[in-house]
Structure 1
């Protein structure tokens, strides 16, 4: 009954865990909400205010249903650097995984950083350090364009870019003796930041990078992967895009500014 297994495979994966079933309920509840509107959402015991329900749904699927950030540690208080924490979904997951984790969360966009702080407070999390600065290669600030969801970046086509405060990630990394999980989801800035950090990652145990390729900019995937290899990580590359007819379909989900997004998972063997 191979054909039947194939037919039912997607339905099975969509419903096989409590969190997968929760995601399906969230799709039903919030899937038709207008985009880019401030909305109060809830799941499980969590209550959040989000700037875009579609982004919230994607985050729930990746972080809670598919558990992209699940990792193991013998330390009950692992050190986690969350670069690009957005409204706090990843922080909630990390705190669920390791309640005593020492987390520093970075968020470049001031309005989103305020939502992050309020969401953590609403959910009773008061031991996370939130830094409302862009992760970058120096501390002199960086031009940043707001997109009102989870795609604000240095490559934004928004003409009203603003200089936002920045922090040099390399300095933050070097200030720690051990980093159990380093998450870098900074909408295109990961290429320059990783290059700046390439000689400072020896004490990082798990490294997640969301790679973005912007149209009319060099892709530079090879340089990102080289950083993983030079620092002794085994890595796995995945995408939720699965683009059909890629020789003629050159856009990432119809995106007018980005043509590729990859998730790169690095871990110590």
Structure 2
């Protein structure tokens, strides 16, 4: 019966795979923990320290349950650039899928980069290059606001802005002959960074960009999509917002600074 299928669709999807069921268990264990408090969490074979359990839960759902970053490669040692590695959930996923992968992980916030290093070491991962600098359009540093979780940004309004060291992503792209996966989740800086390295993506096989639109700033989505199109990527755009009444509800999940967040997946045929 159609109505019954519709009624049971969400519960079924939430329990469909082992990772989905694991996520439900994590919600039960950590969902009521106080926010923005350093906490040790466990899932599967992993043990991590995270600065915010809610951010950890969202990351687990996207990265492990929903497998946002799953990709295929013919190379046993794929090259992965993880821009915005945070506390290491994405790196754990990449190394679980491709143990011999060469991963370069960028994290702008010093305290989060320290947790990233600690989490990788405590989980036996010693061959990842961690760069505790912001991915940007030059190496002269960039003004950056710390939110002490996963939303630190060049657009932060509730945090004190400080000059943090930076690297030019374009330089790293040009060092590699092949990049199997490029992940860019840098809280708004993706607009400038993609424009700067638009002509250096020809050897990137898979490209993930989390697009952020901050209230009071140009949305610039067309420029981001143009980079995908001009570099020959097929792409898919998704969002976990699905908010109702968008003509009157302009905020992203009631967010005080953002009005749109999109996930853009690009690949080569």
Q: Structure 2 length normalisation: TM-score?
A: 1.00
Q: Provide Cα deviations, 1:161-199, integer angstroms capped at 9, x if missing partner.
A: 111000000000000000000000000000000000100
Distance 1:161 1:219 in 2: 22
Q: Which residue is 2:36 aligned to?
A: 36
* 1:203-218 paired onto structure 2 within 5 Å: 203-218=203-218
Q: Which residue is 2:127 aligned to?
A: 127
Q: Which residue is 1:267 aligned to?
A: 267
Q: Which residue is 2:166 aligned to?
A: 166
* SS across alignment from 1:194: helix
1:12 and 2:3 aligned: no
Q: RMSD across aligned C-alpha pairs, in angstroms?
A: 0.5
Q: Which residue is 1:51 aligned to?
A: 51
* SS across alignment from 2:199: coil
Q: Which residue is 1:250 aligned to?
A: 250
Unaligned stretches of 5+ in structure 1? none
Q: Which residue is 1:107 aligned to?
A: 107
Distance 1:140 1:227 in 2: 24
Q: Provide Cα deviations, 1:33-56, integer angstroms capped at 9, x if missing partner.
A: 010000000000100000000000
Give the drift of 1:158: 3.2
Change (3 A) 1:222 1:262: same
Deviates more, 1:158-167 or 1:224-233: 158-167
* SS across alignment from 1:10: helix
Q: Which residue is 2:223 aligned to?
A: 223
Q: Structure 1 length normalisation: TM-score?
A: 1.00
Distance 2:64 2:161 in 1: 32
Distance 1:61 1:35 in 2: 17
Unaligned stretches of 5+ in structure 2? none
1:116 and 2:116 aligned: yes
Give the drift of 1:159: 4.9
Q: Which residue is 1:78 aligned to?
A: 78
* SS across alignment from 1:199: helix
Distance 2:160 2:201 in 1: 35
* SS across alignment from 2:200: coil
Distance 1:108 1:125 in 2: 20
Distance 1:135 1:141 in 2: 9
Alignment check: 8 A CA contact 2:146 2:159 kept: no
Distance 1:139 1:158 in 2: 25
Q: Provide Cα deviations, 1:62-111, integer angstroms capped at 9, x if missing partner.
A: 00000000000010100000000000000000001100000000000000
Give the drift of 1:15: 0.2
* 1:225-244 paired onto structure 2 within 5 Å: 225-244=225-244
Q: Which residue is 2:96 aligned to?
A: 96
